[in-house]
């Protein structure tokens, strides 16, 4: 089955894509068979010959459940179907008629190995009724494993909001046709377990968001030298340790030359060049490929002057941490397209205020609005990370390890992104590559880790994405 594994669709985009398939001659019943039987393959892998209980709702998500149950039954599996209510769509009624097993009402006390939630799908916009919450919770607690089809019931697809507080967690969530934003946004993504995608024939949708994927990185060219690989200047501030941490990460992410710009030279590793000239003299070097400013910068007038000088230099730059707090919209006037901002939630709110954006909507909507208003690529980081470009491109990162919740990991991310920018990647690509390398370094690191230990794993992450030379 044709699969576009990278795209993330809104509910409206998904409906339009399905309508396109139907207009092209594929029936709703056929789409349901594709979705249900594809999902059944994953359910079978987890359940095998153990007992499966499928909870079916009134809509087409419930219809998918009847298809899953029939596919499991045909393989000789043990399956029980519970109908929370009667089917209310024609496709769901057809799917129920094609299921050759018994359909139980919502009251029986059933137990099994795997519970499959097909109560409501991605079109849900209001909270579940109390009896549905109770049924969902009871069945999830009476089975060893739980699987959600498309999305856990009680989740809003476009925002990732839990419409009900008591939604159970799942071991596996199987998306149908395309990814939805809720698969990557907190708070619900944390309770979805592993994520799998089943194709139903949906083609690529122009302008769709995408899932952040492993980049294709390369070894340096045969005739490379340190300047050709990229000179990154990291501007130190009141606390040079944060900037040095960013430098360590940057050295492992591809840049050929990382230079710490610190007028009062701190003790530094022997392989890190410290430029102790005035900032204006340091920034005058035409060999600079990119800059990073913000880690440990400070939030006073001196810090604001350093940020303004970085932007005035005309070099592409990553703006992080304190630089985002002292940012003024006039700094970027007439200079769009060359900057990457890396705000956490608090810094995102400050930037929204600085650039006249309303701090409302989903994280995706907020990041996109700020990118348009500021002209910067925005990495809205956190337990869920969204990358937005001024031209409308959106990427969502898969869940990373929660061990990243330690001081200094943001400095590592900034250094990694800045290194990719210095290597010549355009700002959106540099942001995507840096976020992936940061997450992969965390995956490879021993847990728990410190920020310096995370930075030390960036070269291993780069190697994992590097094509053989």
42-98 per-position pLDDT tens digit: 999 999 889 999 999 999 999 999 999 999 999 999 999 999 999 999 999 999 999
Cβ-contact 37, 65 below 8 angstroms: no
Q: Read off the pLDDT band of 3 (50, 70, 90).
A: low
The values of phi and psi at residue 95, to 5°, are -65, -40
For the chain, how big is the Rg over CA atoms in Å? 25
Quick one: 193 and 283 in the same domain?
A: no
Beta strand ranges found along 313-398 (DSSP E): 317-319, 339-341, 377-380, 386-388, 394-396
Quick one: 257 and 185 in the same domain?
A: no
Ramachandran assignment for 220, one of left (phi > 0), alpha (psi -120 to 50 degrees), beta (any other): beta
From CA 445, how far away is CA 447, in angstroms rounded? 6
Quick one: 339 and 400 in the same domain?
A: yes
Quick one: 306 and 267 in the same domain?
A: yes
Quick one: 71 and 191 in the same domain?
A: yes
Cβ-contact 440, 212 below 8 angstroms: no
pLDDT of 115 over the 60 cut: yes
Alpha carbon 13 to chain centroid, angstroms: 19
Quick one: 41 and 172 in the same domain?
A: yes
Q: Read off the pLDDT band of 414 (50, 70, 90).
A: very high
Quick one: 397 and 287 in the same domain?
A: yes
Q: What is the CATH number of the domain that holds 417?
A: 3.40.1190.20
Number of domains in the chain: 2
pLDDT of 172 over the 90 cut: yes
- Is residue 2 situated within a structural domain? no
Cβ-contact 105, 134 below 8 angstroms: no
314-347 per-position pLDDT tens digit: 999 999 999 999 999 999 987 767 999 999 999 9
The values of phi and psi at residue 273, to 5°, are -80, 130
Give me the residue label for tokens 């709702």: 57
- Is residue 402 situated within a structural domain? yes
What pLDDT is stored for residue 397 in this prediction? 97
What pLDDT is stored for residue 236 in this prediction? 94
pTM for this structure?
0.94
- Is residue 1 situated within a structural domain? no
Quick one: 131 and 203 in the same domain?
A: yes
Quick one: 196 and 241 in the same domain?
A: no
Percent of the chain at pLDDT > 90 equals 84
- Is residue 216 situated within a structural domain? no
- Is residue 199 situated within a structural domain? yes
From CA 93, how far away is CA 102, in angstroms rounded? 15
What pLDDT is stored for residue 225 in this prediction? 86
Structural domain ending residue among the three candidates 164, 182, 211? 211
Sequence-distant (≥ 6) Cβ neighbours of residue 305 within 8 angstroms: none
pLDDT of 204 over the 90 cut: yes
Quick one: 235 and 134 in the same domain?
A: no
Q: What is the CATH number of the domain that holds 153?
A: 3.40.50.10260
Structural domain ending residue among the three candidates 181, 211, 241? 211
Domain span at 142: 7-211
- Tell which residue, 250, 156, 174, 201, has the closest CA to residue 23: 201
- Is residue 283 situated within a structural domain? yes
375-403 per-position pLDDT tens digit: 999 999 999 999 999 999 999 999 989 99
What pLDDT is stored for residue 269 in this prediction? 83
From CA 209, how far away is CA 85, in angstroms rounded? 35
Q: Which of 135-144, 173-182, 270-279, 418-427 has the lowest mean pLDDT?
A: 270-279
Quick one: 22 and 89 in the same domain?
A: yes
What pLDDT is stored for residue 112 in this prediction? 85
From CA 156, how far away is CA 180, in angstroms rounded? 10
From CA 94, how far away is CA 70, in angstroms rounded? 12
Quick one: 69 and 155 in the same domain?
A: yes
């Amino acid at each position: 089955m044709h699969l576009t594994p990278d795209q993330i669709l809104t509910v409206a985009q998904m409906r339009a894509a399905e309508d396109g398939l139907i207009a092209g001659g594929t029936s709703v019943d056929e789409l349901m068979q594709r979705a249900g039987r594809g999902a059944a393959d994953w359910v079978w892998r987890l359940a095998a010959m153990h007992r499966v209980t499928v909870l079916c709702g009134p809509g087409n998500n419930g219809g998918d459940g009847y298809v899953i149950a029939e596919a499991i039954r045909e393989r000789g599996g043990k399956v029980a179907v519970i109908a929370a209510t009667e089917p209310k769509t024609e496709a769901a009624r057809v799917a129920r008629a094609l299921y050759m097993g018994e359909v139980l009402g919502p009251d029986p006390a059933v137990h099994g190995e795997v519970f499959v939630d097909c109560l409501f799908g991605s079109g849900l916009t209001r909270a579940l009724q109390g009896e549905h919450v109770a049924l969902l919770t009871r069945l999830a607690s009476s089975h060893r494993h739980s699987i959600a089809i498309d999305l856990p019931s009680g989740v809003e697809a476009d925002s990732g909001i839990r419409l009900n507080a008591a939604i159970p967690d799942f071991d596996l969530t199987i998306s149908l046709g395309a990814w939805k934003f809720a698969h990557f946004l907190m708070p619900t993504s944390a309770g979805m377990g592993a994520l799998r995608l089943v194709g139903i024939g949906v083609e690529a949708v122009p302008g769709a968001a995408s899932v952040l994927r492993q980049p294709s990185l390369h070894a340096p060219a045969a005739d490379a030298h340190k300047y050709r690989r990229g000179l990154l200047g990291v501007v130190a501030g009141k606390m040079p340790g944060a900037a040095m941490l960013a430098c360590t990460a940057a050295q492992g992410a591809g840049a050929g030359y990382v230079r710490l710009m610190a007028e009062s030279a701190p003790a530094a590793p022997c392989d890190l060049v410290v430029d102790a000239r005035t900032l204006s003299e340091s920034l005058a070097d035409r060999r600079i490929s990119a800059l990073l400013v913000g880690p440990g910068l400070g939030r006073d007038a001196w810090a604001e002057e350093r940020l303004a000088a970085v932007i005035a230099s005309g070099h592409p730059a990553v703006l992080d941490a304190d630089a985002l707090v002292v940012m003024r919209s006039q700094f970027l006037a007439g200079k769009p397209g060359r900057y990457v901002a890396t705000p956490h939630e608090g810094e995102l709110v400050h930037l929204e205020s600085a650039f006249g954006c309303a701090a409302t909507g989903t994280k995706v909507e907020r990041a996109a609005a700020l990118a348009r208003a500021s002209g910067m690529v925005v990495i809205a980081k956190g337990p869920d990370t969204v990358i937005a470009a001024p031209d409308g491109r959106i990427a969502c990162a898969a869940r990373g390890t929660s061990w990243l919740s330690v001081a200094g990991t943001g400095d590592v991310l900034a250094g990694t992104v800045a290194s990719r920018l210095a290597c010549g990647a355009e700002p959106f690509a540099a942001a995507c590559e840096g976020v992936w390398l940061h997450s992969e370094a965390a995956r490879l690191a021993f847990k728990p880790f410190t920020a310096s230990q995370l930075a030390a794993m960036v070269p291993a992450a780069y190697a994992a994405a590097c094509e053989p030379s």
